Amino acid sequence: MTLKDAYKDKFYIGTALNAWQLMGNKPSEMHIAQSQFNSIVAENVMKSGRIQAKEGEFNFELADKFVEFGEQNNMHIHGHTLIWHSQAPRWFFTDQQGNLVSKEVLTERMKTHIFTVVGRYKGRIDSWDVVNEAIEDDGSYRNSKFYQILGEDFIKLAFKFAHQADPDAELYYNDYSMAIPSKRNGVVKMVKKLKDEGIPIHGIGMQGHIGLNHPDIKEFDKSLEAYSQLGKVMITELELSVLPSPWGDAGAELSDTYTYEDKMNPFPNGLPEDVQRQFTQRYVEFFKLFLKHSDHISRVALWGINDGNSWKNNWPVRGRTDYPLLFDRDNQAKPVVKELIELVR
Ligand code: G3I
């Protein structure tokens, strides 16, 4: 039994693919993608800085391979991401002198980008993260360049353009720390307002960058409840870090006992059994919660295939070794995979 077979009547079970995999250098990882998952998302190759690094020069080489792989394997294909302040190229916001451009210019650039990218994959990419990370943890709008130039309107424009470019695609707002109450309130307020104004937004993506001790699963539950009232929900970018946060919040229990250097890399010889068990239990708890809300959840997607691929190895400092995904560095399924399958059998 595979993950995708086990969850087929519940929600799509997805994974992110990275550039190395799409370039054909990682056949074993692609085999896991094919056999265990029925949905894919591009971890980096569809970001605006990759697709349109220079104005008007579009590079779709890896994005095309990504979509072709999904089609060949009959997968649900999710696009990530159209409008994100981070990783957007500088030219998007500035003129030749380096000054911020006018509302009109930025609107035109957004329109061209969204029409070109969504238009190219019309009818082939099923759903999009249209706007990524526009709300701060306190619920206010992030003061990004998009916001500085266009105010809240940039969000409406992005959804309108995406809908015009492919009226059949499902359109999502995606963000992290979505279980923090103040952020939840801010996102709910924003999405309600968009819907009241008739903006085509179909769902909310809750990024799942979780740790052993954060976030509080009860708050995650409340957020799932609240976002479900507004449309579909996706659990996006899921991985479970076992490392304490160097600034002490995320992995509070572990961080008490380790020095700063240890916190960088506390498990040089692999995961001790007790941590492995906590890891399994915590994934199981979260999947139980997803199953509780499965009527509203369209997709749950891991942010990578194996531990070696995870961005968590180099964040927040380079040189960390983390173990956050479902398959280990040798592409072996961890014990958690069997447990997750058992949950729905
Ligand atoms: O591909 C280049 C390589 O050619 C170069 O030698 C190397 C040197 O640093 O960089 C490589 O690119 C890196 C890329 O990941 C691929 O590994 C970029 O520097 C690095 O910034 C990039 O990080 C990605 C990050 O988004 C920024 O785009 C992570 O992989 C990716 O997991 C992360 O994902 C984001 C989501 O899109 C949005 N939500 C938060 C999430 C985590 O930050």
Q: How far is C-alpha 192 from the geometric centre of its chain's CA atoms?
A: 22
Query: Rounded CA gap, 206 and 176, in Å?
Result: 6
53: tokens are 């690094």
Q: What are the pLDDT tens digits along the chain (345 aa)?
A: 999 999 999 999 999 999 999 999 999 999 999 999 999 999 999 999 999 999 999 999 999 999 999 999 999 999 999 999 999 999 999 999 999 999 999 999 999 999 999 999 999 999 999 999 999 999 999 999 999 999 999 999 999 999 999 999 999 999 999 999 999 999 999 999 999 999 999 999 999 999 998 899 999 999 999 999 999 999 999 999 998 765 544 444 444 444 555 557 778 888 899 999 999 999 999 999 999 999 999 999 999 999 999 999 977 777 788 999 999 999 999 999 999 999 998
The alpha carbon of 44 and the centre of ligand 1 are apart by a number of angstroms equal to 6
Query: Rounded CA gap, 11 and 1, in Å?
Result: 16
Query: Rounded CA gap, 246 and 256, in Å?
Result: 11
Q: Which residues line ligand 1 (CB under 6 A)?
A: 19, 43-44, 47, 87, 132, 176, 207, 237, 311
DSSP letter for 328, please.
-
pTM equals 0.95
The alpha carbon of 87 and the centre of ligand 1 are apart by a number of angstroms equal to 9
Which residue segments constitute the domains of the chain, with CATH numbers given? 3-343 (3.20.20.80)
Q: Is 239 a catalytic residue?
A: no
Q: Which of 237, 239, 253, 261 is catalytic?
A: 237
The interface predicted TM-score (ipTM) is 0.95
Q: Which atom of ligand 1 is nearest to the CA of 303?
A: 32
Q: Whose alpha carbon is nearest atom 27 of ligand 1? A: 87
Query: Rounded CA gap, 129 and 155, in Å?
Result: 12
Q: Is 133 a catalytic residue?
A: yes
Residue to probe by mutation, ligand 1, list 41, 238, 311, most atoms within 8 Å of CB = 311
Does residue 320 contact residue 313 with C-beta atoms inside 8 Å? yes
Residue to probe by mutation, ligand 1, list 22, 43, 176, most atoms within 8 Å of CB = 43
